Amino acid sequence: MAVRVMWYNIRCSRPVDGENTWPRRREAVARLIDGHADLAGLQEPFIEQIDDLCTRTFPAGDAARPPTDKIDFVLVDPKWTVRRHAVLNEPLDGGYPSDHLPAVAELGFHTTQR
């Protein structure tokens, strides 16, 4: 079995982006994800962007949807289920190696389509 995985910083939705605002980018981002990924790890989306992408890319799938103050999400198509997910917030050597905390997810694969 092969799995197509994509990590993608889709940029948050901000009105000051002018011609690059989310409403002008969302269809292209959805087509890119849908055409290339069974699993998409997203960086910096707002919850509204997650909602948009779930309805356009993986309409029957699950979204690992932590509280709205988080900025990284995992989208899966209907062949997958997010069993559990977490943000790893333990410091290493007394500090954090990045301004973003890592996230992990345990996924289940469905051998038959839901």
3-state SS assignment for residue 79: coil
Give the model's pLDDT for residue 65.
47
- The pTM score is 0.61
How far is the C-alpha of 27 from the C-alpha of 52, rounded, in Å? 9
Structural domains of the chain sorted by starting position, each given as residue range(s) with its CATH number in brackets: 5-109 (3.60.10.10)
Tens-level pLDDT at each residue, the chain (114 residues): 567 777 788 888 888 888 888 898 888 888 888 888 877 888 888 888 988 888 776 554 444 444 445 566 777 878 888 887 777 777 766 766 555 666 777 788 877 755
- Dihedral of CA atoms 73, 45, 11, 100 in degrees, nearest 10, equals -50
**Residue 42 C-alpha from the chain's centroid:** 3
Alpha helices in 43-95 (DSSP H): 47-56
